[in-house]
């Protein structure tokens, strides 16, 4: 009887873990996708677009645009890594 109870508890734990992973991967995927999408688009629009506008103002085309896009890429990568670390720490 004790062994049966231990097996039942192990099965329940395995099922809870599978449900948690399914929730993380499928039901919560929209929030994660939207967050990562915004982490890429917002810095690109602000820094790349700002560089483009400043290039027009200062007459330094394409230096500030390229610098803004490179800076946006670095910010996006740092933000994405941060989000993924937070998600994986919960599991």
The tens digit of pLDDT for each residue in 8-57 reads: 777 778 878 777 777 766 666 777 788 888 999 999 999 999 999 999 99
Confidence of residue 67 (pLDDT cuts 50, 70, 90): very high
Mean pLDDT of 73-91: 85
Question: Largest Cα–Cα distance in the chain?
Answer: 82
pTM attached to this predicted model:
0.64
Cα distance between the two ends of the chain: 32
Q: What's the pLDDT score for residue 42?
A: 95
Residue 10 CA to residue 15 CA, distance in Å, equals: 9
Residue 29 CA to residue 36 CA, distance in Å, equals: 11
Contact (CB, 8 A) for 69 and 44: yes
Q: What's the pLDDT score for residue 88?
A: 80
Q: What's the pLDDT score for residue 7?
A: 74
Residue 88 CA to residue 38 CA, distance in Å, equals: 20
Mean pLDDT of 72-90: 88
Q: What's the pLDDT score for residue 36?
A: 82
Angle at 86 between CA 80 and CA 91, to 5 degrees: 130
């Amino acid at each position: 009887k004790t062994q049966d109870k231990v097996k039942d508890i192990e099965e329940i734990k395995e099922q809870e873990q599978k449900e948690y992973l399914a929730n993380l991967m499928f039901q919560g995927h929209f929030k994660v996708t939207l967050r990562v999408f915004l982490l890429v688009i917002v810095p690109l629009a602000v820094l790349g677009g700002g560089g483009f506008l400043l290039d027009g103002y200062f007459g330094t085309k394409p230096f500030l645009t390229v610098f803004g896009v490179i800076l946006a890429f670095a910010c996006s990568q740092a933000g994405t890594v941060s989000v993924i670390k937070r998600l994986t720490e919960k599991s």
